[in-house]
Amino acid sequence: MAEIQTQHQTLTFDVKLGLLQKISHNNGSKIVVGEEIGMYTSPGSGAYLFKPEGDAQPIVEAGGNMVISEGPLMQEVFVYPKTAWEQTPISHSTRIYNGDGTIQEFLIEKEYHVELLGKEFNDRELIVRYKTDLDNKRIFYSDLNGFQMSRRETYGKIPLQGNYYPMPSLAFLQGSNGQRFSVHSRQSLGVASLKDGWLEIMLDRRLVRDDGRGLGQGVMDNRPMNVIFHILVESNISSTSDPVSNPLPLIPSLLSHCVGAHLNYPLHAFIAKNPQELSVQPLARSFSPLAAPLPCDLHIVNFKVPRPSKYSQQLIEDSRFVLILQRHHWDTSYCLKGRLQQCAIVANEPLSLFNMFKGLAVLNARATSLNLLHDDVEMLGYAEQVGDAAQEGHVLISPMEIQAYKLELRPHQ
């Protein structure tokens, strides 16, 4: 066994196979992960149909290469596993991060480098499987386009492929003791829980035949790709419902929402190739466009300049910016305020749009529809939630709601 650890958690690996076996937290809680990489043989599958022959078989053999790197900011285990093929179709890294007050210190990052290239992988489908010790009774939850969760249940009376569900960005298991095992994904993938405690995720597919559903060809355009997961293990701090007896979908915690946003909305840095073309003024060491941090459960969906429509009666100079906000719905039985120091506030109080931006004055703020065509607050339903606050530039959004606002901005003089 090999281990890497931070102040919050310790990861244990099987040295022979290079796979993650267990996660231990500093509060004494443990969870068996039982990572396994397998492959389906699927001569009947196509782009739209999944028709495997039996269960996925493990492909990792003892004797691969394993490299452990440790530093002050990050610790990583990189594994190039041994398989039956000379060119292995997968390699993977597991990372944990140090950093007080950051989101990264609570998560585990898994990166799978997948290369299903060559005829030897025809009609093969590659999966990763986490065989946890949670008694989820083959019930799990996956999201719908990153907006809400759906309850998924595995049925033994239907074929394996009928128990696979879409996973746009998140899937999690919950045991009877309230412990959760969540996997956030940067890519949309397929997911299943075929046995108690298992969470299986499809990584890539290479299929020769057309399945007759309209594509007109197989899935043969595979490229080397990186599949990135952020894994989060949580324990409830108060009573929680039993997923077996509760037919309603469960919702992520506030920390889980923050982890998903960190993965799917990364900060992009751009570096100029020609320094002489930049301004002579030195660049600021920090950048903070907001006057104060937003509430942790409030998400900026979009902030843009709308394209003027040729059918619109709106003047070109009128309200040249649009701000779209979404408020997450989160489970208060898991880690109030998300265990994050910066999560000091949530969106229970009205947010003033006029005082939102640093260096910019909001001259006008008006509620609008999501397609930007209607400005009637009563028709939009905003008046029922916040009275006249929407007209005055104060936002109070109910959980699971999305609202749009037209803004007129000017730089401070």
Amino acid at position 347, single letter: A
Q: Outline which parts of the chain fall under CATH 2.60.40.1360.
A: 288-411
Q: Find, among 242, 197, 179, 241, the residue nearest to 27 by Cα.
A: 179
- Structure tokens belonging to residue 23: 């996660």
**Answer CATH for 288-411 from 2.40.30.10, 3.65.10.10, 2.60.40.1360, 3.20.20.120:** 2.60.40.1360
- Residue 389 confidence (pLDDT): 47
Confidence check: pLDDT of 240 > 70: no
Q: Outline which parts of the chain fall under CATH 2.70.98.30.
A: 2-264
Fold of 2-264: Beta-galactosidase; Chain A, domain 5 (2.70.98)
Give the number of residues written for the chain. Answer: 413
CA–CA separation, 413 vs 394, rounded Å? Answer: 24
What confidence tens digit (pLDDT) does each residue in 31-81 have?
999 999 999 999 999 999 999 999 999 999 999 999 999 999 999 999 999
Angle made by CA atoms 334, 339, 344, in degrees to the nearest 5: 110
Largest CA distance in the chain: 70
Angle made by CA atoms 78, 83, 89, in degrees to the nearest 5: 70
Residue in this structure with the two tokens 């919950």, named with its chain if needed:
174
Q: How far, rounded to the nearest angstrom, does the alpha carbon of residue 361 sit from its chain's CA centroid?
A: 34
What confidence tens digit (pLDDT) does each residue in 100-158 have?
888 899 999 999 999 999 999 999 999 999 999 999 999 999 999 888 999 999 999 99
